[in-house]
Chains A and B, each alone.
Chain A
Amino acid sequence: MKYTITIVTMLIFSGCSSKLVRVMPYEKENFAMIKMSLSPLAERSEQEGHILLIREASVGGDSSFQGGCGCR
């Protein structure tokens, strides 16, 4: 019984192993596509930033360390 539990536990944990679950480097073809990047269109993201700047009346308001209130 002890052995059975050990084997079952081993099998369960091997199933959770990062080697089995993670995407291997040679499988990342689709992830490498430009459309998969967070900001696929550089020009568009620049325009969006500009519009946000006007709308929020602040510079740098889109960054994570500033409030976006314009007061800095």
Chain B
Amino acid sequence: MKKILLVIMALSIGLFASVGEGDKALPFNLKSLSGKSYSMNSFKGKVVLLNLWASWCGGCKKEMPEFYKLQKSMGRNFKIVAVTIDKNSADAKSFLRSVNKKTHMRTPFVVLHNPSKSLARAYKAEGMPSSYLIDKKGIIRAVMIGSLNHNDIKELKKEIKKLK
């Protein structure tokens, strides 16, 4: 009977726990907005910032131009992987076009489309946007819930440099 209780408790803990620092990054297989397939292995050996965002999310829209600058400044061993959970990819594309116009840049990172929201569900994302800093070995080193401002990005840069 005790064993059953332990199993139930373990299951209930697993049900509530979200993915956190020290956990392995969850595998995925998604298509980019341009139709190319990517998995977590595509970014092996690189420091990755996995960003869950949507065009209907105000905070996500606010931080996106900062990510453009971040990717440009951090070079090749660092990749931002932006996963949009928009139902309609046209909404994400239209928003990114507006950011391109504003920043005078072309989207400098991979944008994956996940209309089923399976990745956000798997990560049990506590907020929108959610960002996960993943090291070269695929271990999550930082979890950032909510929109990142200029100062947060500064701190993030330090973390990325440590991991590179």
Contact = CB atoms under 8 A, between A and B. Distances in A.
B112 to A, nearest CB: 14
Contacts of B48: none
Interface in A18-50: 19-20, 24-29, 32-33
A25 B128 contact: yes
A16 to B, nearest CB: 13
Contacts of B124: 24
A68 to B, nearest CB: 33
A34 to B, nearest CB: 10
A14 interface: yes
B8 A7 contact: yes
A32 B53 CA distance: 13
A26 B16 CA distance: 16
Looking at chain A's contact residues, is the secondary structure mostly helix, strand, loop, or mixed?
A: helix
Interface string B8-42: 11001001100000000000000000000000000
Nearest to B115: A29
B5 A7 contact: yes
Contacts, number: 44
A69 interface: no
A7 B4 contact: yes
Interface string B79-92: 00000011100000
A24 B85 CA distance: 13
A70 B110 CA distance: 59
A29 B15 contact: no
A19 B16 contact: yes
Given A10-B8, A20-B15, A26-B125, 7 more contacts: A7-B4, A11-B8, A14-B12, A17-B16, A25-B125, A26-B121, A28-B56
Interface of A: 3, 6-7, 10-11, 14, 17, 19-20, 24-29, 32-33
Pairs A-B, 3 closest by C-beta atoms: A26-B120, A32-B56, A25-B128
16 contacts: A3-B1, A7-B5, A11-B8, A17-B16, A19-B15, A24-B124, A26-B52, A26-B85, A26-B125, A26-B128, A27-B117, A28-B56, A29-B54, A29-B85, A29-B86, A29-B87
